[in-house]
Structure 1
Amino acid sequence: MYLADSRSTKAAVVPDTRPGRRPAAVPGTVLALGAVSLITDISSEMITAVLPLYVVAGLGLSPLGFGLLDGINNGVGALVRLAGGHLADRGGRRHKIVAGIGYGLSAVCKPLLLLAHTLPVISAVLAADRTGKGLRTAPRDAMISLAAEPEHRGRAFGVHRAMDTTGALLGPLVAFAVLRATVDGYDAVFAVSGCIAAVGVLVLVLFVPRHITSAGAVRLPESHSSPAGAARPPESHSGPADAVRPPEPARPPALRDSIGLLRRPELRRLTVCAALLGLTTVSDSFLYLLLQREGDLPAHLFPLLPLGTAAVFLLLAVPLGALADRVSRRRLFLAGHGVLLLGYGLVLSPWHGVPAVVAVLVLHGAFYAATDGVLAAATAGVVPAEHQGAGQALVSTGQALARFTCSLAFGAAWSLWGGQTALAVTAAALAVSAVVASFVLRPANEVPA
């Protein structure tokens, strides 16, 4: 690790062509961002682990009311993702600034849950928290895309998601420990979560570079000049190669340029399929509530359910990310939804008990490992470097808005028909969506890029 802003940022950039020089598959910038995500996810997953039980059992909200809250988690963040990606690109790739605002806003919201005891107040706090998440997601993924070599983007995103998921694995454990050790458990969880989120913001400020350039670049002093074709890097330089300031773009991209990225057929297909499949992806919280009820698990074990998903995600994120670099990322993305469909089938089957719960969590974690970072890597390969923030935001916004719609619809269906029937309808819709998406993506034969 290194202090991100402890060096001069005025530099020219040339390709690193030194003999025998191989860029790292996972640059330091990616590891630094992974550390930020790990810490932040501990904080976020502490809240996620207890929120369903808190609002349903503690505050007495109906499944429809919880569906509204869960929809806010997905929908509000989605509405600002495009703005976050566009602002980061428009500022001359100042992705760290926009991401820092997002992380800071989420950190402030965690302790505010101590004051939230009604649906409107909880909704407002969650909306602000998801606004922070929406602002930071696209700039963060853009920084990973720019820092990593194109042929290693799947692995880079896999490493980041593995570190992120380590936080998701630790978060429920911390929440479980706090609930068991304190009398007023929920308030203690919210307070500890806020403190941890503040640490994540501090790590971002200190260790993530302010400016990211394309991977494989080194910096030259401004006073150094070389003949064309004979550019020679200095004997030594401070900071990693991916942590130098890029040339400022001639004209900051306008919002219409960001939206206009959808004219690219490859990006348009990815966005449409991500949204279509998102419409039939049940929220994690609803899935855990179904598992807890069908498996007759004690309430105090509920925060541990996300651990199964997180553990499998952690184990498979890197190998599946590397696999995506060698085969079609789009096909792996579709295969992940097939795995999720198997998980829904197990929930609907007569097989119950702890073994069934474990099997569903394994499939759920494999689904995320095959889709989350893989989709971001596929997106990075079809948009130019100066529009990485907006490109990532377009795809993730479409997916998040679709999941927001699914949360609202699933909560209403659960209230009307019951959880099992609602899941059966969703599973059938997912099967149809996967078939349609396979045809939509078929014309594009992806080459890892």
Structure 2
Amino acid sequence: MYVASVRPAERVKGKVPGTVVALGTVSLLTDVSAEMITAFMPVYLLFTLQLGYAQFGVLDGLYTGATAVLRLVGGHLSDRTRRHKAVAAVGYGLSAATKLVFPLVGANAFGIGAALAADRAGKGLRTAPRDALISLATPPDRLGAAFGLHRGMDTVGALLGPLVTFLLLAQLGIVAGPVFVVSACFAVIGLIVLVAFVRERPGEPRGGPRPSVRAGLALLKDAGYRRVTVAAAVLGLATLSDAFVFILVQKATDVPQAALPLMPLGTALVFLVAAAPLGRLADRVGRWRVFLAGHVLLLAVYALLLVPGTGYFGVGAALLLHGLFYAATDGVLPARVSTQVPESLRASGISVVQTGQALTRLVSSVGFGFLLQFASFGVAVHTAIAALAVTVVLAWRIT
């Protein structure tokens, strides 16, 4: 799979460029690695190390929010140097290296937190440059489809990661070492594919100011871009992390704890099927409309948690809606942002929006962890429902 810059014929025919397929392969392999850890952590931290929900919330917040500042750094460096691939490679390499650190820290909560932060720092560095590579290789009218295809391939990894973890745990028991080593192997293979097969478009950007910190922040002077940035951050405050969603679904439905590592599979399978169609739908009917509709689906997930005695049917319904939420939001937001920033600041523009989301989701994880620790299950869920309903209305009014 050798990719170069997008040829004019590819643009005329409306095909998704080869660059997007190559980056999708990288993300697929990397997501196997990442989702192995995501599936394993709730079981490991809550049931093996016996951490409280408040401690888990802090660690989960680190996992979610440690990307925040480095998203800005990654976006700025890649725009400034015009080497999006190189900056992304540093991020992928950092995440791969941290997988080998987890077995060394053992049951030390501080060590686990530091390793999680380093892993997410790698994600922070790579995300904006990777999304910039996708957007710069794709015609504007195909951005939703391109991001949808990339996220769909990424989701194949999200499907395989929890399955690999489940099989390892079934064969070896809850032993951390093999999970982390296998996770590291997938991450290294993804890095090799990036270096060997992804090429970025040569030449100078076709338009926009010279990349700088000031120029990146000046994007917020544009009213449309500023509204999207603020609205995305506001919605992040009421968006529970995947780990908390799966924990709540397990508690609400009373399915066995052994099913917990498999729940990400349900979300990922729906995401895989729906990401590309919803990306194309967003291209036609409006990306922001689809993005907000996705959060309404997440609100339905929270509401299902209050329905008693649903068992595996409730798990299936919740994971279906959760997967549709991701399909309507994960690739659609950068596709929307890509049309609002010039090529010379593409990675910086994407990273500012993503940083706002990461910071507010960090606050959400820490706050909800303490709420679940010290309040009843019902109070925690009702609070999540009220917060998301309010923020959806606010985001709709802002934009």
Q: TM-score range by the shorter chain?
A: over 0.9
Amino acid at match of 1:64: A
Does structure 2 retain, via aligned residues, the 8 Å contact 1:100–1:201? Answer: yes
Separation in 1, partners of 2:309, 2:194: 45
- Structure 1 residue 361 and structure 2 residue 350: aligned? no
Per-residue deviation at 1:411?
0.3
Q: Distance in 2 between matches of 1:173 and 1:438?
A: 37
Equivalent in 304, 310, 313 of residue 271 of structure 2: 313
Residue among 58, 64, 71 paired with 1:74: 64
Map Cα deviations across residues 70-111 of structure 1 (whole Å, 9 max, x no partner): 1001111112101110110000x2100100000000000011
- CA RMSD between the two structures: 1.9
Q: Hey, what's the Cα distance between the residues in 1 that align with 2:304 and 2:174?
A: 36
Please report how far the alpha carbon of residue 437 of structure 1 lies from its aligned counterpart in structure 2 after TM superposition: 1.0
Partners of 2:129 and 2:347 within 8 A in 1: yes
Which residue of structure 1 lines up, in the alignment, with residue 394 of structure 2? 436
CA contact (8 A) 2:99 2:184 kept: yes
Judge conservation of contact 2:239–2:388 (CA < 8 Å) in 1. yes
The alpha-carbon deviation at position 429 of structure 1 amounts to: 1.1
Specify the alignment match of 2:20 in structure 1.
Answer: 30
User: Which residue number corresponds to residue 220 of structure 2?
Assistant: 262
Could you tell me which residue of structure 2 aligns to residue 179 of structure 1?
Answer: 169
Question: Contact conserved, 1:271 with 1:395, CA < 8 A, in 2?
Answer: yes
d(CA) in 2 for partners of 1:359, 1:349? 11
* 1:85–1:389 Cα contact (<8 Å) kept: yes
1:316-327 aligned at under 5 Å gives the runs 316-327=274-285
Question: Runs (4+) of structure 1 moved beyond 4 Å?
Answer: 247-252
1:58 to 32, 43, 48: 48
| Greater CA drift, 247-256 or 432-441 | 247-256
Q: 2:137 aligns to what?
A: 147
Aligned twin of 1:228: none
- Size of the aligned set, in residue pairs, is 398
Scaled by the length of structure 1, what TM-score is found?
Answer: 0.85
- Deviation, 1:24, is 4.0
Output one character per residue of 1:301-335: Cα deviation in whole Å (capped at 9) or x when no partner: 21100011001111100000000000111111111
Shift of 1:427: 0.9
Change (3 A) 1:295 1:349: closer
Alpha carbons 1:144, 1:157 under 8 Å: kept: yes
Q: 1:124–1:389: structure 2 CA closer, same or farther, 3 Å change rule?
A: same
The structure with the larger Rg is 1
Structure 1 equivalent of residue 34 of structure 2: 44
Match of 2:101 in 1: 112
Report the alpha carbon displacement of residue 432 of structure 1 after superposing the two structures with TM.
1.0
Structure 1 position 426, deviation (Å): 1.3
Q: Does the Cα contact within 8 Å between 2:208 and 2:345 map onto a contact in 1?
A: no
1:287, distance to aligned residue in structure 2 (A)? 1.1
SS for the counterpart of 2:305 is helix
- Please list every run of 5 or more consecutive structure 1 residues that lacks an aligned counterpart in the other structure: 213-243, 442-449
* 1:420 equivalent in structure 2: 378
Question: Separation in 2 of the partners of 1:362 and 1:249?
Answer: 41
Q: Is the 8 A contact 1:3 1:206 kept in 2?
A: no
- Pairing of 1:50-449 with structure 2 (within 5 A): 50-91=40-81, 93-116=82-105, 117-183=107-173, 185-209=175-199, 211-212=200-201, 244-246=202-204, 252-441=210-399
Larger helix percent: 2
Does the 8 A contact of 1:161 with 1:373 survive in 2? yes
1:25–1:149 CA contact under 8 A, matched in 2: no
Q: CA–CA distance in 2 between the matches of 1:307 and 1:353?
A: 17
Q: TM-score, normalised by structure 2?
A: 0.96
For residues 260 and 422 of structure 1, the distance between their equivalents in structure 2, rounded to whole angstroms, comes to 39
Percent identity at matched positions? Answer: 51
Could you tell me how far apart the structure 2 residues matched to 1:177 and 1:103 are? 25
Structure 1 position 418, deviation (Å)? 2.7
Q: Which runs of 5+ in 2 are unaligned?
A: none
